[in-house]
Structures are given as structure tokens and as C-alpha cells.
Amino acid sequence: MLTLASDIEVLARFGRALADPIRCRILLALRQAPAHPSDLADALGISRTRLSNHLACLRDCGLVLAVPDGRRSRYELADPRLGHALDDLRAAVVAVEADKTCTDAETKGCC
């Protein structure tokens, strides 16, 4: 059964999904159009196994859906508004110092 997540949980799930560059690339690809896993793997230049693991994470975060398409599944964004959110995030200006990086080890969970 599907349930609605709280505002904080939604942001945390979105942040977790965006924390990995491959998942970002998957979301941006699905922003353009739904796709089958084999096509996504080829387009992104990653193995199908690796893609499958990332798609599972994105499904668990509630950001993508697997839609039956004959004997295969097609993936798409769970809500069309996610595409708009991705566009807004890409357009946002982030203020960072040129010589600083944000890694988990250095910031204990930042970013």
C-alpha cells in the first residue's frame, strides 16, 4: 500500500537519491522520457547490474516507478513534478569556495 510521506521525509529521500552521480544521471534521463533498463544502461554506459541497484534505490525512495510494458518494465518518474524539481535544482546557484569540497569523511554527513 502506498502512503504519503511527510515534507521532511520527502526531502530526505530526494537528497539520498541525488547523493550519487549515477542516480542523478538516471533521474535526468527519465526526466526526458520513460525508458527500459537496458536502454538506460546503454545510454549511461554502465552495467545492467549496476543500473538495477540504482533503480532499486530510486524505487525505494519513491522517485521512480516500474511500469509493466509487455514482458519488460519501463521506468518513469513517479510524479511529473519531479522533472520540474530537477530543473529548479539544476538552475539554483550554489555558493561554494573554490578550494573546498564536500565529502562525507570531512563533513560528517554534509551534502
Tell me, what's the pLDDT at 109?
38
Please tell me the distance from the alpha carbon of residue 58 to that of residue 78, in angstroms, as a whole number.
10
pLDDT of residue 111 exceeding 50: no
Please tell me the distance from the alpha carbon of residue 33 to that of residue 60, in angstroms, as a whole number.
20
Confidence of residue 82 (pLDDT cuts 50, 70, 90): very high
Q: What is the pLDDT of residues 59-74, one digit of tens each?
A: 998 899 999 999 999 9
Please tell me the distance from the alpha carbon of residue 102 to that of residue 110, in angstroms, as a whole number.
7
The per-residue pLDDT of the chain, averaged, comes to: 85
Please tell me the distance from the alpha carbon of residue 38 to that of residue 18, in angstroms, as a whole number.
21
What domains, with CATH codes, occur in the chain? 7-107 (1.10.10.10)
Helix (H), strand (E), coil (C) string for 13-73? HHHHHHCCHHHHHHHHHHHHCCECHHHHHHHHCCCHHHHHHHHHHHHHCCCEEEEEECCEE
pLDDT of residue 93 exceeding 70: no
Tell me, what's the pLDDT at 104?
53
